[in-house]
Amino acid sequence: MSTAAAVFGVSNGSMRQQLDQAQASSQQIAAVLTAHDAVMTSGPVSGGGTVTIVMSHARHALVFTAQGLRALPASRGYELWLIGPAGTRPVGMLPAGSHGMTGPVIASGLRQGDHLALTAEPAGGTARPTAPMMLDVDL
């Protein structure tokens, strides 16, 4: 096997995995948005911007998007959290915005009593929030 063929095989496998993950995420998002109990809410973020959340209790999931969040330095990023009686769980870092829009991001595994929170954290994310909450929404 040539080096080019080996590199193409590894690259092709990685690309296929990324496509599979994107497709699975799109299917999860569609399931929440079309759920019979889907509820949409919007609100402001302290420091600027607006979020829109579509939540389905039946699916134990929500879809998060944001518009107009202030730009952060490259060393920082926005991180979503689920905070509830069972503790604090990171949802993940928001993807870089495009044309002022960020998301959609899916948060699954919602539990009774959870809140959705947003903080500005170091770019790689953290295990626990280290910055003040810019958003705290009862779910």
pLDDT 10s digits, 33-92: 999 999 999 999 998 999 999 999 999 999 999 999 999 999 999 999 999 998 999 999
pLDDT 10s digits, 91-138: 999 987 777 788 899 999 999 999 999 999 999 999 999 999 999 999
Asked if residue 55 lies in contact with residue 110, where contact means CB atoms within 8 angstroms, the answer is yes
116's enclosing H/E stretch is: strand 115-122
From the list 78, 89, 92, 135, the residue with the least C-alpha distance to 114 is 89
CA–CA distances in Å: residue 88 to residues 64, 79, 131: 18, 12, 14
Question: Highest-confidence range of 3-7, 19-23, 94-98, 124-128, by mean pLDDT?
Answer: 124-128
Give the 3-state secondary structure of residue 52: strand
pLDDT at 79: 96
- pLDDT band with cut points at 50, 70 and 90 for residue 6: very low
